[in-house]
Amino acid sequence: MISRKLIKVALLGVWAVFMAGWLVYGIQSRTVATSAAEPSAPKGTEVAYNQDDYVGSDTCATCHEDQFKAFSKTKHSKLTQVKDWKDKAKGCESCHGPGRAHVEEADPTKIISFKDKTAKQVSESCLTCHAGKEDHNNFRRSEHLRNNVGCTDCHSPHGSPNHPTKVGSITYPAIDSEDNPGPATVKMLKVSEPQLCMSCHQQTKAQFSQPFHHKVLEGQMKCSDCHNAHGGFELKNARLSVGADAVCVKCHTDKQGPFVYEHLPITTEGCATCHNTHGSTNPKMLKRNQVRQLCLECHTAIFDSPAPGVPSFHRQDNASYQNCTNCHVRIHGSNTHPAFFR
Ligand code: HEC
Ligand code: HEC
Ligand code: HEC
Ligand code: HEC
Ligand code: HEC
Ligand code: HEC
Ligand code: HEC
Ligand code: HEC
Ligand code: HEC
Ligand code: HEC
């Protein structure tokens, strides 16, 4: 019990430090973003722009109709009506920089282009505004950005030209048609989940096709229910807060505890110690074919493990002792029995 409390206290401490860091960081980046008289240009191209250098999105529209049409349905296009952003967001020119020279001289080199920019550079231009947001603070050190997957690998910078009013389809498989939209229409995603994620993480499709699985392919859950694509403090970009299991107990609330009698690995190692959370060939998405195998991996006297070996009366040649959870029913923790009988 004591060690568990200690762990909790330690976790809480770590969390508190992170939150403090977050706050400070958020406030700092927000101050930077909002105190600037001009919208920041992408990093490396910072120059003082003159207000007169901006021509406005309507001017761009005269030559770039497609981009304008898609853009005008996004939140970005409406920022000029939002109090906090009125003077800072400049429509197309928020990202592309002031366009007067480009327009007047009809010179494609006189506008910020992202053609030759890396995923990191493009992302930095988005982060000039988005870094202050809680969700994106961690993007710079996320598995994604570190592997050159930037904002525009998942988001379409101008928004989707299709179905702006329909909710995104998360039904697999995607067939790109008018009736069954593949391209996402929410959050400016290029493609809906899970297709978006599976286009790169192909192995997950096989995992979610296993006999026992979370219903992601069926469209009842999304990858982002469990993962934060923008990165976070946890391994595997999981969406967790305090402790390793928060993402799971958000839905499986009965497993949350705290229990009077905790089963230690659940609080220390997390749900994925025993479950393959994408999918498994074993019932209950267990990692092992037989429950017994799973238990005996830890509950064996041979190993130097905090788990006690099974009592000697558990004769393993006796079939009635093989199905451990027949008796140890409350395997995730119990409030009434130290050996999880009820
Ligand atoms: C008078 C017509 C005209 C107007 C107005 C105009 N552009 Fe262009 N723009 C062009 C032409 C022509 C090109 C080069 C051909 C192409 O890429 O379509 C171009 C290219 C671009 C490119 C691609 C540059 C590259 O090489 O990657 C961007 C980005 C761009 N324009 C943004 C804008 C923005 C933002 C505005 C409004 C501030 C704007 N344009 C207004 C004509 C125009
Ligand atoms: C949120 C930032 C952002 C805004 C706002 C934005 N763009 Fe872009 N634009 C980009 C990025 C990033 C690219 C690079 C293409 C890509 O990654 O798909 C791009 C590419 C372009 C191109 C090159 C051709 C193409 O589509 O790849 C043109 C032309 C263009 N934008 C015009 C515009 C116009 C016109 C507007 C306003 C109606 C606008 N953009 C608003 C970020 C933005
Ligand atoms: C001028 C500042 C600014 C820049 C630059 C900017 N954004 Fe945004 N963006 C915003 C604001 C403000 C919102 C609205 C936030 C809200 O409503 O919570 C927003 C909203 C969004 C949304 C949510 C759209 C929705 O429908 O909910 C996405 C996705 C997004 N931005 C992606 C990007 C990407 C990708 C880039 C870079 C290519 C970018 N942004 C560049 C300010 C900016
Ligand atoms: C690996 C794919 C991926 C990358 C890379 C990515 N996003 Fe997202 N983003 C998503 C998904 C998926 C959602 C929708 C999550 C949901 O439905 O709750 C989202 C949501 C958003 C939202 C809306 C958040 C909200 O709560 O409404 C914004 C804003 C946003 N992203 C901006 C960005 C910016 C800026 C970057 C780069 C710094 C970026 N994203 C990089 C996948 C990605
Ligand atoms: C453009 C390709 C691409 C897209 C789209 C993409 N990812 Fe990734 N993702 C990667 C790469 C590359 C890595 C880092 C290398 C790796 O672990 O595979 C990564 C890493 C991850 C990781 C961490 C893996 C680890 O071992 O720590 C998770 C979780 C993840 N992605 C989930 C998602 C989710 C959820 C989506 C959809 C919202 C998504 N990805 C969309 C390419 C992509
Ligand atoms: C029910 C929650 C849940 C859902 C839904 C989910 N994941 Fe995961 N995913 C996890 C957990 C938990 C881990 C960490 C597993 C571990 O540590 O053994 C993980 C690990 C990963 C990894 C790292 C792979 C590895 O072998 O280490 C990737 C990549 C990933 N998920 C992508 C996805 C994609 C793509 C989707 C949607 C198609 C998705 N996940 C949906 C919970 C989920
Ligand atoms: C968004 C809600 C949600 C989240 C988050 C979630 N689950 Fe589930 N989980 C479900 C639903 C709904 C079912 C049962 C229906 C089904 O078959 O999809 C389920 C089924 C399961 C089952 C199988 C139950 C059975 O009787 O066969 C296990 C085990 C499981 N989840 C573990 C986890 C773990 C571990 C995590 C965290 C990595 C997690 N879940 C995250 C919603 C969720
Ligand atoms: C020590 C191994 C172990 C860990 C860790 C573990 N589970 Fe389980 N879980 C099991 C076993 C064994 C079963 C099957 C019980 C049975 O056969 O009746 C199971 C069954 C389940 C079920 C389906 C049956 C039910 O009771 O609803 C869900 C849902 C579930 N676990 C969720 C979770 C979640 C969420 C976590 C993390 C908080 C977790 N598990 C951690 C071993 C574990
Ligand atoms: C990842 C390792 C691990 C797995 C797998 C595991 N356990 Fe445990 N188990 C432990 C540890 C560690 C303890 C805590 C011992 C303590 O509190 O001193 C424990 C405690 C117990 C206890 C209570 C012992 C007591 O009286 O204090 C029982 C009963 C138990 N486990 C049964 C099972 C069963 C049945 C399974 C299979 C469904 C299982 N365990 C799977 C590690 C594990
Ligand atoms: C027929 C019912 C039954 C089955 C099946 C069963 N157990 Fe037990 N188990 C018990 C009883 C009774 C105790 C003693 C409880 C007590 O001391 O209060 C016990 C105690 C334990 C303990 C605690 C040992 C300690 O020193 O504190 C562990 C660990 C354990 N069992 C693991 C298992 C494992 C692993 C399996 C499956 C291979 C299993 N049990 C199957 C009835 C069962």
Regarding whether 298 and 235 lie in a shared domain, the answer is no
Domain end marker among 212, 239, 266:
239
**Cα-to-centroid distance, 302 and ligand 3 (Å):** 56
* Within a domain: 108: no
Regarding whether 165 and 129 lie in a shared domain, the answer is no
**Cα-to-centroid distance, 289 and ligand 9 (Å):** 18
* Within a domain: 43: yes
Answer whether 131's CB lies under 8 Å from 29's CB: yes
CA nearest 24: which of 126, 139, 125, 134?
A: 134
pLDDT of residue 232: 66
Q: Quote the distance between the C-alpha of residue 96 and its chain's center.
A: 27
Please report, to the nearest 10 degrees, the dihedral formed by the alpha carbons of residues 200, 201, 206, 212 taken in order.
-140
Domain end marker among 192, 211, 239:
239
Regarding whether 252 and 187 lie in a shared domain, the answer is no
* Within a domain: 336: no
pLDDT of residue 103: 94
**Cα-to-centroid distance, 248 and ligand 7 (Å):** 7
pLDDT of residue 73: 83
* Within a domain: 152: no
> Under 8 Å CB-to-CB from 303, ≥6 apart: which residues?
none
pLDDT of residue 236: 60
**Cα-to-centroid distance, 328 and ligand 10 (Å):** 7
Separation of alpha carbons 29 and 21, rounded Å: 12
* Within a domain: 94: yes
For the chain, how many structural domains are there in total? 3
Q: Which tens digit of pLDDT belongs to each residue from 279-318?
A: 999 999 999 999 999 999 999 876 677 888 888 888 878 8
CA nearest 25: which of 119, 142, 136?
A: 136
Regarding whether 253 and 234 lie in a shared domain, the answer is no
Tokens 């290029």 correspond to 190
Q: Which residues constitute the domain of residue 276?
A: 246-327
Q: 88 to each of 29, 47, 134, 137, 300, how far by Cα in Å?
A: 15, 15, 20, 21, 64
Regarding whether 52 and 128 lie in a shared domain, the answer is yes
Q: Which tens digit of pLDDT belongs to each residue from 133-185?
A: 666 767 887 889 989 999 999 999 998 765 444 444 444 334 443 344 444 45
DSSP conformation letters of 221-281: S-HHHHB-TT--SSGGGB---SSTTHHHHTT-GGG----SB--HHHHHT-GGGTB-SSEES
CA nearest 33: which of 100, 96, 109, 89?
A: 89
* Within a domain: 8: no
* Within a domain: 110: no
Regarding whether 256 and 171 lie in a shared domain, the answer is no
* Within a domain: 337: no
**Cα-to-centroid distance, 174 and ligand 6 (Å):** 21
Atom 16 in ligand 1: which residue has the minimum CA distance?
108
Query: What average pLDDT values come out for the chain (342 residues) when binned by 10 residues?
Result: 43 43 36 32 50 91 93 88 82 94 92 93 92 73 90 90 47 41 65 86 94 89 86 62 67 89 88 94 95 91 78 84 93 95 92
| Strands 279-280 vs 212-213: parallel, antiparallel or unpaired | antiparallel
Question: What Rg, from alpha-carbon coordinates, does the chain have?
Answer: 26
Q: Does 119 contact ligand 5 (Cβ within 6 A)?
A: no
From the CA of 128, which ligand is nearest?
3
Regarding whether 130 and 32 lie in a shared domain, the answer is yes
Regarding whether 298 and 230 lie in a shared domain, the answer is no
pLDDT of residue 243: 53
Find the residues whose C-beta lies inside 6 A of ligand 9: 263-265, 269, 273-274, 291, 294-295, 297-299, 306-308, 324-325, 328, 331, 338-340
Regarding whether 235 and 258 lie in a shared domain, the answer is no
Separation of alpha carbons 247 and 226, rounded Å: 6
Regarding whether 210 and 191 lie in a shared domain, the answer is yes
Regarding whether 126 and 34 lie in a shared domain, the answer is yes
Atom 17 in ligand 7: which residue has the minimum CA distance?
214
CA nearest 95: which of 126, 133, 136, 55?
A: 126
Q: Does 272 contact ligand 6 (Cβ within 6 A)?
A: yes
Regarding whether 127 and 44 lie in a shared domain, the answer is yes
Domain end marker among 239, 273, 293:
239
